[in-house]
C-alpha cells in the first residue's frame, strides 16, 4: 500500500498511481516477483485497470531462485462474481501471462464461470466472502505467498480476520487533502488494535518505505 503524508491512498484522479514514484515502484516490482499470487478487490482491479500479470522480466532470476518458475497469478475478490472487463478479457484470451482466479461466494460462482475457467473459481462463503477459507483454498493450489494489493476495504477485512502477516506501506512526500480513504478503510475500528513491529525502513527520493511485522506473537494465519 502507499499513502500520502496526510493519509490519502489516491490522488485527485482516484488512483494510487498518481501518488507513487520510482522508489515505490521498485519495491512494488520486487514484491510481485516474490509472490505466488496477487490478491485484489474487484473495485481496485477495475479502477486501477488490472489485467493478467507477469513477473518483471529483469527479476525472473530472483523469482526462480526464491519462488520457482510458476507464473504470477492474480486473484480478484468479488462477492457478486463480477469480473472487471480487462481481467475477464485476459482470462478469455491468455497471452502468456499468469492465470486469473476469482474468489467469490457460492451464488457469485454462477456468474464467475462466465468469465474464467471453473477450476479457477474459489468458492469461499455463502453470502459473504470468507477470506480465511479463500486463502486456504489458494494454498491448496500452491499459491501460498499472497501479496494483497488492496484496496483499503479488502485490507481492512483481512486485518479484521487476522490474516495479514506483514504490512508494506510507503509514504509519498506529498499532501493532497480531499476525501480519499486511508490505507485501511473499514466500517469498524479494529478491536483489539493490531500491534506492529518495524522490520525495515528505507528512504529514497523523499519516499519512506516501511515493512511492518504484524505477527509479533509468531503465529501464522494459514498453515
3-class secondary structure, 30: helix
Alpha-carbon gap, residue 213 to 165, rounded angstroms: 6
CA distance 4 to 91: 34
Instruction: Write down the pLDDT at residue 223.
Output: 44
Mean pLDDT of 34-40: 98
At 39, which CATH number?
3.40.430.10
Give 133-136's long-range contacts (Cβ < 8 A, gap of 24+): 134/75, 134/77, 134/103, 135/163, 135/221, 135/222, 136/222
Close Cβ partners of 220 (under 8 Å, ≥ 6 residues apart): 165
CA 150 – CA 5 distance, rounded (Å): 19
Residue 114 within a domain: yes
Among 152-166, 183-197, 198-212, name the one with the lowest average pLDDT: 183-197
- Residue 188's pLDDT is 83
Give the model's pLDDT for residue 221.
56
pTM above 0.85, yes or no: yes
Asked if the structure places residue 218 within a domain, the reply is no
Asked, for residue 45, whether it belongs to a domain, the answer is: yes
State whether residue 1 is helix, strand or coil: coil
User: Could you tell me what percent of the chain has a pLDDT over 70?
Assistant: 98
Order of strands, sheet of 121-123, starting from the edge strand that comes earlier in the sequence: 121-123, 100-104, 73-77, 37-41, 146-148
Give yes or no for residue 220 having a pLDDT over 70.
no
- DSSP letter for each residue of 64-87: HHHT-SPPPEEEEE-TT----HHH
- How many domains in the chain? 1
What percent of the chain is modeled with pLDDT above 90? Answer: 87
Flag whether 31 is in a domain. yes
Would 170 be classed as within a structural domain?
yes
Q: How far is CA 156 from the centre of its chain?
A: 12
Give a yes or no: residue 136 inside a domain. yes
**Does residue 56 have a pLDDT over 50?**
yes
- Of 37-41, 73-77, 90-94, 130-134, the one with minimum mean pLDDT is 90-94
**Domain coverage including residue 60:** 2-213
Residue 125 lies in a domain: yes
CA-CA distances (angstroms) from residue 145 to 37, 96, 152?
A: 7, 21, 20
Helix (H) or strand (E) holding 109: helix 106-112
> Does a structural domain hold residue 220?
no
Average pLDDT over residues 36-52: 96
Amino acid at each position: 500500500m502507499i499513502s500520502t503524508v496526510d493519509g490519502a491512498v489516491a490522488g485527485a484522479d482516484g488512483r494510487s498511481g498518481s501518488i507513487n514514484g520510482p522508489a515505490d515502484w521498485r519495491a512494488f516490482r520486487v514484491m510481485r516477483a516474490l509472490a505466488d499470487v496477487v490478491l485484489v478487490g474487484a473495485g481496485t482491479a477495475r479502477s486501477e485497470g488490472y489485467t493478467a500479470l507477469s513477473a518483471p522480466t529483469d527479476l525472473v532470476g530472483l523469482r526462480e531462485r526464491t519462488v520457482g518458475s510458476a507464473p504470477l497469478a492474480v486473484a480478484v475478490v468479488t462477492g457478486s462474481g463480477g469480473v472487471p472487463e480487462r481481467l475477464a478479457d485476459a482470462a478469455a484470451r491468455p497471452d502468456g501471462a499468469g492465470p486469473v482466479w476469482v474468489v467469490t461466494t457460492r451464488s457469485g460462482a454462477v456468474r464467475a464461470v462466465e468469465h474464467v475457467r471453473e477450476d479457477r473459481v474459489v468458492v469461499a462463503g455463502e453470502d459473504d466472502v470468507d477470506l480465511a477459507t479463500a486463502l486456504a483454498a489458494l494454498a491448496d493450489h500452491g499459491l501460498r505467498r499472497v501479496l494483497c494489493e488492496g484496496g483499503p476495504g479488502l485490507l481492512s477485512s483481512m486485518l479484521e480476520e487476522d490474516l495479514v502477516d506483514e504490512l508494506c506501506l510507503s509514504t509519498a512526500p506529498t499532501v493532497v487533502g480531499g476525501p480519499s480513504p486511508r490505507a485501511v478503510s473499514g466500517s469498524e475500528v479494529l478491536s483489539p488494535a493490531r500491534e506492529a513491529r518495524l522490520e525495515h525502513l528505507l528512504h529514497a527520493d523523499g519516499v519512506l518505505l516501511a515493512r511492518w511485522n504484524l505477527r509479533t506473537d509468531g503465529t501464522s494465519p494459514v498453515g
